[in-house]
Amino acid sequence: MGEDFYCILKLVSGEEILSIISVDDNDGDPIVVLQNPVIMELFDKKEKCYVKVRPWMELPNDDFFMIKLDKIITMTETTDRNLIDVYTKYLNDDGSIDVYKPSGEVKLSNDMGYISSVEDARKKLEELYKGIKES
């Protein structure tokens, strides 16, 4: 088994995957072993760039996958520190991913955006409705 390294792969299906890989040369028929493969999508919004990270396969609980070389168009080792940091933070997700957090930004909470509770809103709407009906 070869040495592990961060790699970006382009598959014949069109998918681009970032993963830690190693190559197992099994009797002249090499197999690429992927560890925690993810798909990263880049989004440009005005002067900021955002990255959406999602698992390559949603349902399996396994962390390791094997691909034959005939399913890979190209692959390249990456040493881009920012890309590797996003990847490792995604794998170690503890809910604190804030890689592209602009200064002064407030973290979202469950209470943000609510003006009132459902019960308070119902009472206010009933009062408003009764006031219109009486007029």
Structure pTM?
A: 0.61
Q: Rounded to an integer, what distance in angstroms lies between the CA atom of residue 21 and that of residue 30?
A: 13
CB contact at 8 A, 53 and 39: yes
pLDDT in tens, 37-46: 999 887 777 7
Assess whether pLDDT exceeds 70 at residue 13: yes
Q: Which domains does the chain have, with CATH numbers?
A: 5-107 (2.30.30.100)
What digits encode the pLDDT tens for the residues 15-64?
Answer: 999 999 998 887 778 889 999 999 988 777 777 777 788 888 888 788 89
66-101 pLDDT, tens per residue? 999 899 999 999 998 888 888 888 888 744 444 444
- CA–CA separation, 106 vs 97, rounded Å? 14
